[in-house]
Amino acid sequence: MKPVIGGRAEPFWRHFNTDEWEPEWRGLVELLEHQHVSTDWHRAIERLHRGIEDASTSVKLGAYREWLRHLTALRRHERCEQLCAVLGEVLKKSDWRVIDHFLSVIASSNESSVDEQRLCLRVLRGMCLLIPEVCDVFVGEWMESLISRLLDNTQDAKIHVEVLELLLVVIADNQTRQRDFMRRNGVTTVCTLHLSSESTSVLGKRTRAFIGILVRYILPRGASVALSNALTAEARESVEETVGADGLGAILASVENLISETD
C-alpha cells in the first residue's frame, strides 16, 4: 500500500482539543504526533529506494513521480510546516542520501534519460521549496554544475528549463546563494542562453522571466540593503552588457506585465 504522508486515518488524539490537556499529556501527544509523521516519511523513503534500485526504468520513473506527488500534496496540507520539519529531520539523519541520489542522476546526463533528469530536477526544486536547508547543497560545486548545464548546447531545452526553475528557487531568498550564483557568472550565462533561444519558445520565455524576476524582485529585496543594492547593480550591468539597455527594459516590462496578469 502506498504511504500517505500525514496518515490515511486520523490518529485518536486529533479528535480532541489537546490544548486543554495537562502539560505532560500535551507533551505525550507531541511525541506521538512526531512518531506518526516520521513513520509515514520512513515508509515513503523506503518505497522510493526500492523503486530506485529496480532494474526497470518505468518502475524507477514511477518512484520519482510518486515522490513528486508527495511533495505537491505536502504544499497543500494543513499541517505542511510540521510535516516538512519532520521530513527535514529524517533526511538529515540519513545524511541526505535521498538528495544525493537525485543529484547523482542529474550529474550523469549521459547515462540517464531526459525524462529521468527532468523528474529529478523537479523533485529537487520541490524539496528546496519545502525544506530551505536543501538549498544550501547548491552552494559551491553544485551551483557551478547547474550553471554549466545551461552552457551545454547538447542538452535538451526541457532540461535547461528545469535547471532555471531550480536555480530560481535556490537563490530566491538567500544572499549567500545569490552571491555564489553571481560570482560564477550566472547572470551572463542565463542572458547568453536567452539570446540563443527563440523568444516565443518555452525556454525563451523562461530565461526572460528568470532575468526579470531576479533583477526586479529577488536581488533588491535581500536582508542586507547594501548587499542587495550591490548585487542588483552588478546584475543589471551584466544584463545590459549582454542584451543591451533596451533589452533589459523590455525584459522588465514583460515580467511586470506577467505579474500584473497573475494578480
Of 109, 138, 167, the residue at which a domain comes to its end is 138
Closest CA to 223 of 179, 175, 182: 175
Q: How many domains does the chain contain in total?
A: 2
Residuewise pLDDT in 10s, the chain (263 residues): 455 555 555 665 565 666 666 676 566 656 666 676 778 888 888 889 899 988 898 999 999 999 999 899 888 887 888 888 989 988 888 878 899 999 999 988 777 899 999 999 999 999 999 999 999 999 999 999 999 999 998 889 999 999 999 999 999 999 999 999 999 999 999 999 999 988 789 999 999 999 999 999 999 999 999 999 999 999 999 999 999 999 999 999 989 887 876 66
Task: Indicate whether 184 and 246 sit together in one domain.
Answer: yes
CB burial of residue 72 (10 Å; 0-12, 13-18, 19+): exposed
pLDDT at 1: 46
Are 127 and 158 in the same domain? no
Let me know whether 73 and 35 are in one domain: yes
Are 3 and 124 members of one domain? yes
Conformation bin of residue 6: beta by default, left when phi > 0, alpha when psi is -120 to 50: left
Which of 138, 169, 198 terminates a domain? The answer is: 138
pTM: 0.86
Residue 157 phi, psi (nearest 5):
-60, -30
What's the confidence (pLDDT) of residue 3?
A: 55
Q: Range of 38's domain?
A: 1-138
Look at the block and give the residue holding cell 519532520: 86
